[in-house]
Structure 1
Amino acid sequence: MRTIDDQVAGVDARTVVLVEGVSDRVALETLAARRGRDLDAEGVRIVSMGGATNVGHFLDVFGPPGRGLRLAGLYDAAEERWFRRGLERVGLGANLSRDELAALGFHVCVADLEDELIRAVGVAGVREVIAAEGDLRAFRIFGRQPAQQDRPVEAQLRRFLGTQSGRKSAYARALVRALGPDKAPRSLDAVLAQV
């Protein structure tokens, strides 16, 4: 397994977008490609940090204390405190509000990436994607589990996307590809608009 230092050593960029996990990186890269953007050619690197609690170290390396690169990010609402603390610690503000975080280029997913994508694609659209990926039978079996039966379908879908290693990333790509024109989640749109 690569250490954080290994992850940052090879990053050559003018702008770094910090994201919690691989599925966030995949979603942003897929959306950028759909829009005809070549982030590598633009000097933009999306760095998966392996969790929000690592943001401080990445800000130390890429932000004002380190390389002084332009920064942006995407985070889940429940993890906002880690981003706020990290940005404050490297001198990019104090007692930052969500709007101030956004002005710095750091945008929130209301619950998480999967929730954003499910709302943007819609339940019927997500079911179509699941069928196209060959997972409809598995989703139906999952939905019959006692713990899932009384939950709203959106909650079932969100949980299903995280039940198997690699599934979040695969579905991040597939769901972004399934987005209708101008239907991208606001948080993903906002990050790409700032880099």
Structure 2
Amino acid sequence: MQATTVLVEGESDRLAVEMLARRRGHDLNAEHVSVVPMGGATSIVRFLERYGPAGADHRLLGLCDERESHGIARALCRAGIGSGPLDELGFHVCHADLEDELIRSLGIDAVLNVIDGQGELASFRLLQRQPSQREQPVPAQLRRFFGGRSGNKIRYAPLLVAALPVGQAPEPLARLVESFAGES
């Protein structure tokens, strides 16, 4: 069975992918699937050399932010994986980032419930009152909350995925996890 390596930008993405995979009944070890955080999309060349056709020759899948998609596409082409729409190459693109996708899929109230469940709703409300945040839409404030404090993205990614109603995962994340089945 060919190993599958899923390349993601960071640790929070890894945790989100693994959480949704578990929720959907995947046993990543048994399916020979590894989710590998690259420490940023600009590191993809090194990971393609290691896991791609010129390296371990794993089946490659991935998740990236839209602003990184052109660089990812160029790197995949140079590595001999192919060209064309990223999703056809197994790489799925989040509009802004995964947190944005999760906020839209869950809805603001559900995200606030997750934050409240962690005892941090007062901290979020304090952020909302900051002059630089007052005029921002709530989804932007939530993204700032998750990205502004060290470790928050990592802490909240699996919690947000766990809070998703069945069948309501963000499309890029859902398509990525669906692609694990039957081809590894």
TM over 0.5: yes
Aligned to 2:152: 167
Aligned to 2:138: 153
Out of 25, 40, 45, the residue aligned to residue 36 of structure 1 is 25
What is the distance in 1 between the residues matched to 2:124 and 2:47?
36
Cα distance, 1:113 vs. partner? 0.5
Aligned to 1:191: 176
- Per-residue CA deviations over 1:103-129 (Å, capped at 9, x if unaligned) read 110000011000000001100000000
Compute the TM-score of the two structures, normalised by the length of structure 2: 0.95
2:37 equivalent to 1:48: yes
Asked if the contact 2:42–2:71 (Cα under 8 Å) also holds between the matched residues in 1, the reply is: yes
- Per-residue CA deviations over 1:59-117 (Å, capped at 9, x if unaligned) read 111011111110000000011122111101111224x3xxx210110000011000000
Give the superposed CA RMSD.
1.0
AA in 1 matched with 2:18: E
AA in 2 matched with 1:93: G
Aligned to 1:102: 87
Please, which runs of 5 or more residues in structure 1 have no aligned partner?
1-12
Aligned to 1:116: 101
What is the distance in 1 between the residues matched to 2:40 and 2:76?
16
Asked if the contact 2:82–2:89 (Cα under 8 Å) also holds between the matched residues in 1, the reply is: no
Q: Secondary structure at the match of 1:83?
A: helix
What is the distance in 2 between the residues matched to 1:127 and 1:93?
41
What is the distance in 2 between the residues matched to 1:45 and 1:151?
37
Please, which runs of 5 or more residues in structure 2 have no aligned partner?
none
Q: Secondary structure at the match of 2:29?
A: coil
Q: Secondary structure at the match of 1:107?
A: strand
Compute the TM-score of the two structures, normalised by the length of structure 1: 0.89
What is the distance in 2 between the residues matched to 1:92 and 1:180?
35
Q: Which 4+ runs in 1 deviate beyond 6 A? A: none
What is the distance in 2 between the residues matched to 1:76 and 1:132?
28
AA in 1 matched with 2:146: L
1:59-138 map, 5 Å: 59-94=48-83, 96=84, 100-138=85-123
**Percent identity at matched positions?**
51
